[in-house]
Structure 1
Amino acid sequence: MTDKSNYSRRRFLTSAAAVGAVGVIGANALVSCAEKQKAVELNLPPLLDQAPDGKPIKAGVIGCGGRGSGAALDFLNAGPNLVIHALGDVFQDRIDDCRKKLKDQANHEVPDENIFLGFDAFEKVIDSGVDLVILATPPHFRPQHFEAAVQARKHVFMEKPVAVDPVGIRSVMATAKKAESLDLKIVTGTQRRHQRDYIEVYKQVANGAIGEIVSANCYWNQSKLWHRNPNADWSEMEYMIRDWVNWLWLSGDHIVEQHIHNIDVINWFSGKHPTKAVAFGSRQRRVTGDQFDNFSVDFTYDDKMHTHSMCRQINGCVNNVSEFVMGTKGSSNCKNTIWDATGAELYKYPYPLDENGQPERNVKISPYVQEHIDLVTCIRQNISVNEAEQTAITNLCAIMGRTSAYTGKEVTYEELMNSDVKLGPDTYIMGDVGIVPNAKVPVPGEAAE
């Protein structure tokens, strides 16, 4: 029996779902030899409640804001002998907040000598003796940080999106290939692919429960996120980074930064990605930055399948965060329910019961923790996993929708794969860089005579 298997992410989730409930074990239980053999035959580990024990894995966090702090805690909760060894950020208060959360919520301390500040902090974290890096800065910096981590032969958890422009996407794809050649383990923050209800529904759809998928819809419509007003004590660069979700070069706009999740589910379930997009959007309420606050995209796939993709961040509007696929024999919301062609329910995911015997609203293990369980399991059992390229593909699809909305033109995937568009400054200084004074919100179409 071998401990190592090489598999695609698609096979990873199909097989994990196929293991299903019989593959889920208690946090301190051991996986039987029969279960291990089944997992190897399927080219996947079982879907565990906790990663197996092993020698300590030391992680460094690059980007200590809310998502970086959350990912650090999720990593510590994934299994035994896991350590947050180093922290890096451009802001001391972000580092201080992260250290406090680790201490208060996990009784975990990071020593002073492993705290690094500045735009070069990522290099110091990577060189501090870590085995794994968690990349959670604003997405603009992800390609550079990912390349440096892989160059240093570190395993990686990186948040989505993995880039904000075509040049960054191609960089991530190239680095993903190098990581694969080095057998490094790479998991990205598309956590729905690690969420047990989604996985179970995906398995059944992949096995033909709704026939061939012919159309789809996906949405992330919600209230406004947040913004930061300029501060006289901040430089232009500090202001933009603290307000990063509102600036194109830092976040990619919310269709890329957030709606990527929903687009990724459709790509995952259909097993392909769109080849072109026609979109529109606008800026109605956003008060800082240079982005839109709503998008509507018609994605066309190679076989003429269409997906309607919609996202919005405006207060006081109807909200909807969901996905839907229509097949020749039925349909599904991708998360927990499958219907036949007449609308009759064929399947409902069996959520755990609460103390009153009623189904819980959430899966047993948070997908934010599950993705770290999966990563640590792959490291400790020497099983190959590399999600970077698949996430980069979906990322580019979101950029395709954004570009079409900004320009009013039909945009193809091939065009963007060959594009030399690169967003943001060439050098990083905590000073004035000339972006804010020249920022313009895109206006699609041609100006009237």
Structure 2
Amino acid sequence: MSTKNKKTNFDRRSFVKTSAAVTGGLLLIPELIAAKGFNGTADAIKIGLIGCGGRGTGAAVQALSTTQNVKLVAMADAFADRLDNSYKQIEKEMQANLKMSRLDVPKDHQFVGLDAYKKVLPLCDVVILATPPGFRPDHFTAAVAAGKQIFMEKPVATDGPGIRKVLAAAEIAKQKKLNVVVGLQRHYEIMYQNWVEKIHAGAIGDIVSGNVYWNNAGVWVNKRQEKQTEMEYQMRNWYYFNWLCGDHIVEQHIHNIDVANWVKKGYPIKASGMGGRQVRTGKEYGEIFDHHAVEFEYADGTIISSQCRHMPGTPDKVTEAFVGTNGRAPKPGLLIDKTGKNILRHNGKDDPNPYQVEHDMLFEAIAKGEYKYADAENGAKSTLTAIMGRMSTYSGQVIEWEKALNSNVSLFPEKLDWNAMPKVLPDKDGFYPIAVPGKSEVI
């Protein structure tokens, strides 16, 4: 979640071949159905929630806070305690807002386990996908196959194979006219919309450079508990394992990287960077770095510099800035010409909460039976941009877009089971292997 607008309590060649194969498979699935329209107020739009952590809970509350006739009818999570806590938080919000009739999830519609998501899909019209990102490719593919309208959180994968799967399913979603909104909420924020629109209109000329940042102290840690299997521990502490999170350059910094892609109207052709672990070095931080610095090069030669860090005691900085041939965009909502005159000054203070707006717009389209939103492709490509950045910092090499996309390095476990072993394991002292630039292979 962004560090701003916290107004709720919660928070391309070989691809063609792969895409064709996956697409063909999805098209042959008999249960694919046309997108349902909800005209009038008689039919409630039935919502299913897959992933009951803070962001999933917040997304469910926001979906239930739209003006449409909606109802939460099913929930799923790998862990019973997270589902129970999520239900209680949603219940509290609905009671406070006199909308308890929108919460209709009996015990037999509350599903727990690694395959619980499969039980939600037949019960809903719209599904919210908010598990840790490593699960997103499989969950999104299943939701598209089932013909569901979709809200899914960012990032949408953690490796090249996952990205290819999401891109393939995104094509099917387009063919079936399934609305897909991805939680890159700046696209739904008025300040950013106005800012980027004027940049695209040439207000500061051609973009020649830029800087994007996600610097802060870091996030939560869940300590290892007695009798936990390695699989459970990693899933409980998912932020620190790349098969689940992708590192914070992917999980959080994707927001700012996505804005760079939006402003540039495209995606970088290569990335080079550096990073490591300097402050957050304990075993509890799994395998991720605590800082990354990347240069993303676009097809026209523009370099966008990216930096993110998790270091307590250092200044927070979560923003984007760009330089054009005729002026500057020093921060979101502000444009200045070469003479120093403001072209745009919009602080967004009184704008509606974009986390709510993305749900308002999605559910309005669904209620009207309209097909308006196809965010999955951009979500996948901005996720791949961030993954490419991680590949460059971990390896110390220049990583090209095509090689990142077509990478066969899968981070996901060979078997998903509570007693199965993830691919990255601790040593005898409990420390996990850390990438070493110049030595680690990532493609």
TM-score, structure 2 as length reference: 0.84
Contact 1:195 1:363 in 2 (8 A): no
Aligned 1:365-444 pairs, distance under 5 A: 365-381=352-368, 382-433=370-421, 435-437=424-426, 439-444=432-437
Question: Alpha-carbon deviation of 1:437?
Answer: 2.5
Verify: 1:118 aligned to 2:104, yes or no.
no
Return the alpha-carbon distance in structure 1 between the equivalents of residues 92 and 249 of structure 2. 34
Q: CA deviation digits over 1:40-85, x for unaligned, max 9?
A: xxxxxxxxxxx99744211100000111101100111122311111
Return the alpha-carbon distance in structure 1 between the equivalents of residues 40 and 213 of structure 2. 39
Aligned 1:43-442 pairs, distance under 5 A: 54=41, 55-107=43-95, 108=100, 109=103, 110-127=105-122, 129-286=123-280, 287=282, 288=284, 289-333=286-330, 335-349=332-346, 351=348, 362-381=349-368, 382-433=370-421, 435-437=424-426, 439-442=432-435
Unaligned regions of 5+ residues in structure 1, if any?
1-50, 352-361
Unaligned regions of 5+ residues in structure 2, if any?
1-37
Question: Alpha-carbon deviation of 1:411?
Answer: 0.5
Q: CA deviation digits over 1:111-157, x for unaligned, max 9?
A: 11210010111000112x20011000010000000000000000110
Q: CA deviation digits over 1:156-208, x for unaligned, max 9?
A: 10000000000000000000000000000000010000011111111211211
Question: Alpha-carbon deviation of 1:212?
Answer: 1.0
Return the alpha-carbon distance in structure 1 between the equivalents of residues 40 and 239 of structure 2. 37
- SS of 1:266's equivalent? helix
Contact 1:139 1:250 in 2 (8 A): yes
- SS of 1:398's equivalent? helix
Contact 2:49 2:75 in 1 (8 A): yes
AA matched with 1:95? L
RMSD: 1.7
AA matched with 2:208? V
Q: CA deviation digits over 1:239-298, x for unaligned, max 9?
A: 111101111111000000100000000111110111001100001222321010100001
Aligned to 2:19: none
Name which of structure 1's ranges 265-274 and 171-180 shifts more when overlaid on structure 2: 265-274
Contact 2:269 2:401 in 1 (8 A): yes
Q: Give the paired residue count.
A: 386
Verify: 1:445 aligned to 2:433, yes or no.
no
Aligned to 1:27: none
Question: Alpha-carbon deviation of 1:90?
Answer: 0.8
Structure 2 CA distance for partners of 1:60 and 1:339, relative to 1, 3 Å? same
Return the alpha-carbon distance in structure 2 between the equivalents of residues 212 and 409 of structure 1. 29
Return the alpha-carbon distance in structure 1 between the equivalents of residues 301 and 347 of structure 2. 34
Return the alpha-carbon distance in structure 2 between the equivalents of residues 340 and 406 of structure 1. 38
Aligned to 2:34: none
Name which of structure 1's ranges 263-272 and 279-288 shifts more when overlaid on structure 2: 279-288
Runs of 4+ in 1 over 3 A off after TM superposition: 51-55
Return the alpha-carbon distance in structure 2 between the equivalents of residues 53 and 267 of structure 1. 38
TM-score, structure 1 as length reference: 0.83
